Structure 1
């Protein structure tokens, strides 16, 4: 199965993966440094058509720098929810310009869905899952129909749910067999910091203010010393993920939905 994954036809829109493919890729790249792994995956077309999904958050610069060093034209999908901190939008523009990223694609919520389900813009305050579905899950699911795999910036140290994260895994948010690649899965917080310093990468302006994990402004708060990096996300709710990385997150899309790029 892994051999088939290595021979994906980039024109074949049905090309997808199996759990055996993910396991084989994990075995193949188990001892390969991150940059070399990324270079081989991209050069050999091991994952077919691939895009990076980036929040341009606290640690996003590392993966984006690694990718830009290999291929600045890799599509980078940014979920422009309409609820981001102004600092995040400014950081997106600064980082994209500095790294020379030539294919950053902003995904926005469907205007009709916002009118029907969040006309007040306050759904986050009583139904954060529903808000994330409209503003993140649905736009990303629609955009990913054109890709076979994604790069994510998830890391095992971020919280207990992500501990033991593999580099290669199937995307469980749909049934298409899309591959999800987590190049920084085994990186530590110290490695992230050291890489950013060595590469001279700018920090997200909110990090110094106590925000080690940054999402939409209404649902992101400061983190106290000793807490895990994502404890400031959806504080007070029984919620740890926005939904784009969990099973069954995108069951339904609005009829005819087409994200505005």
Structure 2
């Protein structure tokens, strides 16, 4: 069984420190010498761990001053109304989305069951990247029933917002009728998009949204970078 590189373990430990609030945005991390003493390694190993964190956008170095925390975890409420832009903006960060793919294809069995379709019925699929302050925090895939919402792909291309695209398609409001959360490890592709290490912890959310009549309009899966997002469950929204 392959052993985890020491620098990787240090990077994950320091990332956890940031995620758990021990270091806030703008804080200076301990010096290389202090970190080397903490982890019982040489400064070169510490430097490699800090470089990995810098590649992920978590820290940045200031010449002669030290290494400082760049990112802070994004609070992300999950309840009956999950709205990405509202969630991120409420935490004082700037939300953005990037389209990775917009396609129409046939539904697989899982998607068909979630959306109350027959296997093989057409669905519109939106794959994208969610960002907070230009930092990628999640990859997502939203699947919509094509026959019920024929114009949703065009609306998504224009707005990059599920809420706005559904409004343009006649769905004025929708609510979450189910959510499942599962811990996962990032694949190579997910790690590339999220700028994290392959095998880093991520959290997968699987949800179904329905319109006012209770008809499913979206089946969504989201993979959150584990140390960049704090998920909170709201029971009363």
Q: How high is the TM-score relative to the length of structure 2?
A: 0.31
Higher relative contact order (CA 8 A, sep 6+): 1
Q: Which has the greater radius of gyration?
A: 2
As a proportion of its length, which structure holds more strand? 2
Question: What is the TM-score with the length of structure 1 in the denominator?
Answer: 0.29
More helix by share: 1
